[in-house]
Structure 1
Amino acid sequence: MDFKLELIAVPVSDVDRAKAFYVQVGFNADHDHVVSDEIRFVQLTPPGSACSIAIGKGVSDAAPGSVKGLQVVVTDIEAAHKELTARGIEVSEIQDMPWGSFVFFSDPDGNGWAVQQIVPRNA
Protein backbone atom coordinates (compact mmCIF):
# COMPACT_ATOMS: atom_id res chain seq x y z
CA MET A 1 0.00 0.00 0.00
CA ASP A 2 1.27 3.48 -0.88
CA PHE A 3 1.18 6.26 1.72
CA LYS A 4 1.58 9.48 -0.24
CA LEU A 5 2.29 12.74 1.55
CA GLU A 6 0.12 15.25 -0.28
CA LEU A 7 -0.60 18.19 2.03
CA ILE A 8 1.29 20.02 4.79
CA ALA A 9 -0.32 22.74 6.92
CA VAL A 10 1.82 25.87 7.25
CA PRO A 11 0.62 28.27 9.96
CA VAL A 12 0.49 31.93 8.97
CA SER A 13 -0.81 35.11 10.59
CA ASP A 14 -2.06 36.88 7.44
CA VAL A 15 -3.54 34.57 4.81
CA ASP A 16 -3.56 37.09 1.95
CA ARG A 17 0.03 38.17 2.61
CA ALA A 18 1.21 34.54 2.81
CA LYS A 19 -0.69 33.57 -0.35
CA ALA A 20 0.86 36.48 -2.24
CA PHE A 21 4.32 35.48 -0.99
CA TYR A 22 4.01 31.84 -2.06
CA VAL A 23 2.65 32.84 -5.46
CA GLN A 24 5.65 35.19 -5.77
CA VAL A 25 7.94 32.24 -4.94
CA GLY A 26 6.31 30.41 -7.86
CA PHE A 27 3.79 28.12 -6.16
CA ASN A 28 0.52 27.50 -8.00
CA ALA A 29 -2.55 28.79 -6.16
CA ASP A 30 -4.79 25.72 -6.46
CA HIS A 31 -7.68 26.54 -4.12
CA ASP A 32 -8.90 29.43 -2.01
CA HIS A 33 -12.17 28.62 -0.28
CA VAL A 34 -13.96 30.32 2.57
CA VAL A 35 -15.82 27.49 4.24
CA SER A 36 -17.24 29.53 7.12
CA ASP A 37 -16.39 32.55 9.26
CA GLU A 38 -13.87 30.33 11.09
CA ILE A 39 -12.35 28.46 8.14
CA ARG A 40 -10.57 29.61 4.99
CA PHE A 41 -8.56 26.99 3.12
CA VAL A 42 -5.84 27.98 0.64
CA GLN A 43 -3.85 25.25 -1.13
CA LEU A 44 -0.62 26.06 -2.96
CA THR A 45 1.67 23.66 -4.83
CA PRO A 46 5.30 24.10 -5.84
CA PRO A 47 5.71 23.52 -9.59
CA GLY A 48 6.31 19.84 -10.33
CA SER A 49 5.44 18.72 -6.79
CA ALA A 50 2.95 16.04 -5.78
CA CYS A 51 2.74 17.62 -2.31
CA SER A 52 1.01 20.92 -1.56
CA ILE A 53 0.85 23.26 1.40
CA ALA A 54 -2.30 24.52 3.09
CA ILE A 55 -2.51 27.95 4.68
CA GLY A 56 -5.54 29.72 5.97
CA LYS A 57 -7.80 30.47 8.86
CA GLY A 58 -8.68 27.46 11.00
CA VAL A 59 -6.25 25.23 9.10
CA SER A 60 -3.70 24.77 11.89
CA ASP A 61 -3.50 25.56 15.58
CA ALA A 62 0.31 25.83 15.42
CA ALA A 63 1.88 29.24 15.94
CA PRO A 64 2.53 31.25 12.77
CA GLY A 65 6.16 30.83 11.73
CA SER A 66 6.69 27.67 13.77
CA VAL A 67 7.28 25.29 10.86
CA LYS A 68 10.95 24.80 10.04
CA GLY A 69 12.67 22.39 7.68
CA LEU A 70 10.24 22.42 4.79
CA GLN A 71 12.20 21.35 1.73
CA VAL A 72 11.83 21.31 -2.02
CA VAL A 73 14.28 19.68 -4.41
CA VAL A 74 15.54 21.12 -7.69
CA THR A 75 17.90 19.88 -10.40
CA ASP A 76 19.86 23.14 -10.67
CA ILE A 77 20.52 25.12 -7.49
CA GLU A 78 22.15 28.03 -9.36
CA ALA A 79 19.06 28.43 -11.57
CA ALA A 80 16.78 28.17 -8.52
CA HIS A 81 18.77 30.82 -6.66
CA LYS A 82 18.67 33.10 -9.69
CA GLU A 83 14.93 32.59 -10.21
CA LEU A 84 14.01 33.19 -6.58
CA THR A 85 16.19 36.28 -6.41
CA ALA A 86 14.65 37.59 -9.65
CA ARG A 87 11.20 37.07 -8.10
CA GLY A 88 12.24 39.30 -5.19
CA ILE A 89 12.60 36.51 -2.64
CA GLU A 90 15.34 37.01 -0.04
CA VAL A 91 17.38 33.80 -0.16
CA SER A 92 20.69 32.77 1.33
CA GLU A 93 23.79 32.31 -0.72
CA ILE A 94 24.26 28.80 -2.11
CA GLN A 95 25.68 26.48 0.54
CA ASP A 96 27.47 23.35 -0.66
CA MET A 97 27.43 20.31 1.63
CA PRO A 98 28.47 16.70 1.00
CA TRP A 99 24.81 15.65 0.59
CA GLY A 100 23.76 18.52 -1.68
CA SER A 101 23.68 22.22 -2.35
CA PHE A 102 21.14 24.45 -0.64
CA VAL A 103 19.58 27.89 -0.50
CA PHE A 104 17.30 28.89 2.35
CA PHE A 105 14.43 31.33 2.70
CA SER A 106 11.56 32.08 5.07
CA ASP A 107 8.02 33.23 4.48
CA PRO A 108 6.81 36.51 6.06
CA ASP A 109 5.94 34.69 9.32
CA GLY A 110 9.29 32.90 9.56
CA ASN A 111 8.32 29.41 8.37
CA GLY A 112 11.65 28.07 7.09
CA TRP A 113 12.32 26.53 3.70
CA ALA A 114 15.31 24.80 2.13
CA VAL A 115 15.82 24.39 -1.60
CA GLN A 116 18.15 21.46 -2.29
CA GLN A 117 19.99 20.13 -5.29
CA ILE A 118 20.73 16.52 -4.37
CA VAL A 119 24.13 15.02 -5.08
CA PRO A 120 23.62 12.15 -7.56
CA ARG A 121 23.67 8.78 -5.78
CA ASN A 122 26.50 7.51 -7.98
CA ALA A 123 28.72 10.51 -7.18
Structure 2
Amino acid sequence: MNWTLEVVIVPVSDLDRAKKFYAEQLGFVVDHDTVIGDEARIIQLTPPGSGCSIVIGRGAVPDMPPGSLKGLQLVVPDIERAHAELVQRGVEVSDVQVLGANPRPTPHPLDNVGFVFFTDPDGNAWAVQQISSRA
Protein backbone atom coordinates (compact mmCIF):
# COMPACT_ATOMS: atom_id res chain seq x y z
CA MET A 1 0.00 0.00 0.00
CA ASN A 2 1.28 3.49 -0.86
CA TRP A 3 1.04 6.23 1.76
CA THR A 4 1.24 9.67 0.23
CA LEU A 5 1.62 12.99 2.00
CA GLU A 6 -0.67 15.34 0.14
CA VAL A 7 -1.45 18.33 2.38
CA VAL A 8 0.50 20.31 4.96
CA ILE A 9 -1.25 23.03 6.94
CA VAL A 10 0.77 26.24 7.21
CA PRO A 11 -0.30 28.61 10.00
CA VAL A 12 -0.55 32.25 8.90
CA SER A 13 -2.02 35.43 10.36
CA ASP A 14 -3.30 37.10 7.16
CA LEU A 15 -4.80 34.83 4.51
CA ASP A 16 -4.71 37.32 1.65
CA ARG A 17 -1.08 38.32 2.34
CA ALA A 18 -0.05 34.65 2.57
CA LYS A 19 -1.98 33.72 -0.58
CA LYS A 20 -0.26 36.53 -2.46
CA PHE A 21 3.19 35.44 -1.19
CA TYR A 22 2.74 31.77 -2.05
CA ALA A 23 0.98 32.33 -5.38
CA GLU A 24 2.70 35.43 -6.74
CA GLN A 25 6.16 35.29 -5.20
CA LEU A 26 6.72 31.53 -4.98
CA GLY A 27 4.62 30.61 -8.01
CA PHE A 28 2.44 28.04 -6.24
CA VAL A 29 -0.80 27.20 -8.07
CA VAL A 30 -3.99 28.23 -6.27
CA ASP A 31 -6.04 25.03 -6.34
CA HIS A 32 -8.99 26.59 -4.55
CA ASP A 33 -9.97 29.43 -2.24
CA THR A 34 -13.16 28.31 -0.53
CA VAL A 35 -15.31 30.24 1.93
CA ILE A 36 -17.36 28.00 4.22
CA GLY A 37 -19.89 30.18 6.00
CA ASP A 38 -18.95 33.34 7.87
CA GLU A 39 -16.10 31.90 9.93
CA ALA A 40 -14.15 29.50 7.70
CA ARG A 41 -11.97 29.91 4.63
CA ILE A 42 -9.60 27.34 3.12
CA ILE A 43 -6.96 28.12 0.49
CA GLN A 44 -5.04 25.24 -1.05
CA LEU A 45 -1.87 25.93 -3.04
CA THR A 46 0.48 23.50 -4.76
CA PRO A 47 4.11 24.04 -5.75
CA PRO A 48 4.61 23.41 -9.49
CA GLY A 49 5.28 19.71 -10.06
CA SER A 50 4.49 18.69 -6.48
CA GLY A 51 2.16 15.94 -5.31
CA CYS A 52 1.80 17.71 -1.95
CA SER A 53 -0.10 20.93 -1.37
CA ILE A 54 -0.20 23.43 1.45
CA VAL A 55 -3.38 24.74 3.05
CA ILE A 56 -3.75 28.09 4.72
CA GLY A 57 -7.02 28.99 6.31
CA ARG A 58 -9.17 29.88 9.27
CA GLY A 59 -12.00 28.16 11.02
CA ALA A 60 -11.67 24.72 9.49
CA VAL A 61 -7.95 24.11 10.07
CA PRO A 62 -6.04 23.24 13.25
CA ASP A 63 -5.22 26.24 15.41
CA MET A 64 -1.45 26.76 15.35
CA PRO A 65 0.46 29.98 16.05
CA PRO A 66 1.29 31.82 12.80
CA GLY A 67 4.93 31.29 11.85
CA SER A 68 5.35 28.20 14.04
CA LEU A 69 5.99 25.73 11.22
CA LYS A 70 9.71 25.15 10.64
CA GLY A 71 11.55 22.75 8.37
CA LEU A 72 9.31 22.65 5.32
CA GLN A 73 11.40 21.55 2.37
CA LEU A 74 11.07 21.84 -1.38
CA VAL A 75 13.30 19.94 -3.81
CA VAL A 76 14.49 21.29 -7.15
CA PRO A 77 16.82 19.94 -9.85
CA ASP A 78 18.89 23.16 -10.01
CA ILE A 79 19.42 25.18 -6.80
CA GLU A 80 21.20 28.06 -8.53
CA ARG A 81 18.31 28.50 -10.96
CA ALA A 82 15.80 28.23 -8.09
CA HIS A 83 17.75 30.85 -6.13
CA ALA A 84 17.77 33.22 -9.11
CA GLU A 85 14.01 32.74 -9.62
CA LEU A 86 13.25 33.45 -5.95
CA VAL A 87 15.38 36.59 -6.01
CA GLN A 88 13.69 37.72 -9.25
CA ARG A 89 10.27 37.19 -7.61
CA GLY A 90 11.28 39.36 -4.64
CA VAL A 91 11.68 36.61 -2.04
CA GLU A 92 14.26 37.28 0.66
CA VAL A 93 16.31 34.13 0.28
CA SER A 94 19.70 33.03 1.60
CA ASP A 95 22.69 32.54 -0.66
CA VAL A 96 23.24 28.99 -1.91
CA GLN A 97 24.82 26.99 0.90
CA VAL A 98 26.54 23.61 0.90
CA LEU A 99 25.54 21.53 3.90
CA GLY A 100 27.64 18.47 4.56
CA ALA A 101 29.43 16.17 2.19
CA ASN A 102 27.71 14.52 -0.73
CA PRO A 103 26.79 10.95 0.30
CA ARG A 104 27.50 9.58 -3.18
CA PRO A 105 29.14 10.71 -6.40
CA THR A 106 26.85 12.89 -8.51
CA PRO A 107 27.22 14.72 -11.82
CA HIS A 108 26.73 18.07 -10.08
CA PRO A 109 28.62 19.10 -6.93
CA LEU A 110 25.51 20.68 -5.38
CA ASP A 111 23.31 17.58 -5.67
CA ASN A 112 21.98 16.58 -2.23
CA VAL A 113 24.03 19.23 -0.43
CA GLY A 114 22.99 22.53 -2.08
CA PHE A 115 20.36 24.51 -0.15
CA VAL A 116 18.72 27.92 0.11
CA PHE A 117 16.45 29.11 2.90
CA PHE A 118 13.58 31.59 3.20
CA THR A 119 10.61 32.39 5.41
CA ASP A 120 7.08 33.42 4.55
CA PRO A 121 5.69 36.73 5.86
CA ASP A 122 4.72 35.08 9.17
CA GLY A 123 8.07 33.37 9.73
CA ASN A 124 7.25 29.81 8.64
CA ALA A 125 10.66 28.48 7.60
CA TRP A 126 11.37 26.78 4.29
CA ALA A 127 14.43 25.06 2.81
CA VAL A 128 15.03 24.31 -0.86
CA GLN A 129 17.39 21.43 -1.68
CA GLN A 130 18.93 20.42 -4.99
CA ILE A 131 18.35 16.82 -6.02
CA SER A 132 18.70 16.42 -9.77
CA SER A 133 18.41 12.64 -9.78
CA ARG A 134 17.52 9.94 -7.29
CA ALA A 135 19.42 6.73 -6.62
TM beyond 0.5: yes
**C-alpha root-mean-square deviation of aligned residues, in Å?**
1.3
- Give the structure 2 partner of residue 78 of structure 1: 80
Q: How many Å apart are 1:60 and its aligned residue?
A: 2.5
Q: How many Å apart are 1:121 and its aligned residue?
A: 5.9
Q: How far apart in 1 are the matches of 2:132 and 2:57?
A: 35
Q: Which amino acid aligns with 2:46?
A: T
Q: Percent identity at matched positions? A: 63
Per-residue CA shift, 1:38-80, capped at 9, x if unaligned? 2100000000000000001122201000000000000000000
Unaligned runs of 5+ in 2: 102-111
Per-residue CA shift, 1:8-66, capped at 9, x if unaligned? 00000000000000012110011000012221000000000000000011222010000
What is the TM-score with the length of structure 2 in the denominator? Answer: 0.86
Which residue, 122, 127, 135 being the options, matches 1:114? 127
Deviates more, 1:76-85 or 1:93-102: 93-102
- Give the structure 1 partner of residue 16 of structure 2: 16
2:78–2:131: 8 Å Cα contact kept in structure 1? Answer: no
CA 1:112–1:34 in structure 2 vs 1: closer, same or farther (change >3 Å)? same
Per the alignment, in what secondary structure is the counterpart of residue 64 of structure 1? coil
What is the TM-score with the length of structure 1 in the denominator? Answer: 0.94
Q: How far apart in 2 are the matches of 1:121 and 1:11?
A: 31
Question: Which structure would you say has the larger Rg?
Answer: 2
1:25–1:87: 8 Å Cα contact kept in structure 2? Answer: yes
Unaligned runs of 5+ in 1: none
Matched, 1:50 2:63: no
User: Where in structure 1 do 4 or more consecutive aligned residues deviate above 6 Å?
Assistant: none
Matched, 1:87 2:98: no
2:69–2:125: 8 Å Cα contact kept in structure 1? Answer: yes
